[in-house]
Structure 1
């Protein structure tokens, strides 16, 4: 069940930036992914109060606690927290007709999923990326209209969102990991079109040519400044990179978020309240959170609680996966690595090196 909240606030965020998805910058991707919408909304913290009073109504909320009830993993025994971040992709609307092959897909899907673990002390953090093609057991869930959907095995992870909704994604993650999800944040990639156009485009560095008929993306190696439509194709592409699986797209999406923040940071938003409002308006229209984060006040407090996290110690870990023995186009959680990874998150301890290796990618 979605609702709109109204609670004005002003605050500020300090983005980290970069272009290439190098190992060090991928570690920074955690803060970008976790805070990208927060930063965009709060970047113009010195602007007029009335601007932000308007923006609260843009943020949509999902009551995860009510939907899931009491049958959930225990909360962390420490002050640590776990946040599920989804990058959803709605293919509806005129903007998708401009994307060639990408416009033929309807509905919304969760193309990116991160379980962000913020440990006690807020000094270090880790984000576990779940590939969209991972086969999972979807638990019994209740849709927003009250319909009960029975449990099902061998369901592709991103189908849970489109078939049942965000609360069931949270329940699926909790069941597969044993990790209690404290907060939920969803970013609609389709909303980036207006955001990118509002800031005048985003520059990305392409190391190898990308030619993907499905998304309509055709880029030579080198530097490119993407408009909103091209940016949508960039975050959606998969067939023109690597082995054509979702594993390659994960890196491109992190790279795009870094480049987006780089562009915003380079602009004098504090000196242009009108432009700041236009960007923040686009950003908040793309955001859905749990009830606990569904206001600028709550988002600001959450961002401030992250101030102690050192970006140099943060890392993004892909859930260890192996190619499915029945369908090589799908992957499954690799054991014992995946179990060891989730155990470290549950116990608020360091992730062992052995749990960071994924057979499907060679390590």
Structure 2
């Protein structure tokens, strides 16, 4: 399978407009923005937290470790043109070896308006796209990795890196040309939490889920507490209960999981801002870089930080695309998907849209 960039719209030119006046949004946009920034580049959060002096040297070391050592093509600097990034969060960890993508987001950013549009898709979305076998969205990345690995072993395979395959597929699906891709795994998340000595959260209800197949053993009790990296990951991952839990606990919706992710990231940010946290910033950056794959050039990462480090919560239009759950798939709302595609294209053209009001109702029930 060798997908190609077809039927993609031409890249919109920079609009040259000044920074627009922020428009107040709901808290959920701020939650998702934190998640986005942490995944793309933890350095940016730390810079906004006021520790740029400390990070000047250490941040440079991590950028050189994380980014690709090649120049940015002329005219392609994030300082002067809008870019689109595919963000993938995988379930990969040493005990499983799997690469299912539990988080799939596409973000467009425009330097003239200093704004961003962030589209997220449910992991169980049914993808029906010419040139691809119909499947859940979260299954494509591991499939592409397997094909690339086979080709490296001189067996039948694509010979194309999985990250590049995902960029091509998602470009076609969303109708925008994706410039970069960043992948972060569960181990990176756990390492960062442990580096800062855990996170303080308030577990709203008991959570129990056990799966001997992949070694998952979630067992959290309700109440305020400090969680280490492993338990913090359990907290944000929890989706459903299992029959081998007694008493059986209730399942969790995607909305509740997003709220828990935000809670953990806010706790991490508080640690980073503290005096003790500043001393551990280098280790946290190392943890992320060791468990992150990206095709950003080192120079482009610096361009991103210089251009978007002060992007605020009112500058991000978060668009979670929802749908209806009918086992084993989420069937995406066509109207929401069309609106998300248009919003991405508008952002690239320098026309930032204010986010729409989100509700607490979930189209996808807990599974």
TM over 0.5: yes
What RMSD, in angstroms, separates the aligned Cα atoms of the two structures? 3.5
Residue in 2 that maps onto 1:276: 281
- Structure 2, unaligned runs of 5 or more: 1-24, 73-79, 145-161, 242-248
Q: Any idea what SS the aligned residue of 1:83 has?
A: strand
Residue in 1 that maps onto 2:244: none
Shift of 1:196: 1.6
TM-score w.r.t. the length of structure 2 is 0.69
Partners of 1:335 and 1:356 lie apart in 2 by 18
Partners of 2:69 and 2:330 lie apart in 1 by 29
Please say which of residues 45-54 and 234-243 is displaced more in the overlay: 45-54
Residue in 2 that maps onto 1:159: 139
Q: Any idea what SS the aligned residue of 2:190 has?
A: helix
Note if contact 2:317-2:355 (Cα within 8 Å) is conserved in structure 1: no
Residue in 2 that maps onto 1:147: none
Residue in 1 that maps onto 2:290: 285
CA pair 257-139 structure 1, distance change in 2 beyond 3 A = farther
- Structure 1, unaligned runs of 5 or more: 1-22, 66-77, 97-104, 141-150
Partners of 2:319 and 2:250 lie apart in 1 by 19
Shift of 1:50: 6.1
Q: Any idea what SS the aligned residue of 2:128 has?
A: strand
> Over residues 111-142 of structure 1, what are the superposed CA-to-partner deviations in whole Å (9 max), with x where a residue is unaligned?
111112324633443311111110103564xx
Aligned equivalent of 2:267, options 255, 259, 282: 259
> Over residues 92-129 of structure 1, what are the superposed CA-to-partner deviations in whole Å (9 max), with x where a residue is unaligned?
x2xx4xxxxxxxx4422211111123246334433111
Shift of 1:319: 1.0
Note if contact 1:122-1:305 (Cα within 8 Å) is conserved in structure 2: no
> Over residues 223-265 of structure 1, what are the superposed CA-to-partner deviations in whole Å (9 max), with x where a residue is unaligned?
2211122122223321148755656534433433333223222
Q: Any idea what SS the aligned residue of 1:224 has?
A: strand
> Over residues 283-331 of structure 1, what are the superposed CA-to-partner deviations in whole Å (9 max), with x where a residue is unaligned?
22122222xx242x4323202211453313434221132224xxx2310
Note if contact 1:40-1:283 (Cα within 8 Å) is conserved in structure 2: no
Partners of 2:228 and 2:112 lie apart in 1 by 40
Aligned equivalent of 1:46, options 33, 46, 53: 53
Note if contact 2:171-2:178 (Cα within 8 Å) is conserved in structure 1: yes
Number of residues paired by the alignment?
A: 296
Q: Any idea what SS the aligned residue of 1:108 has?
A: coil
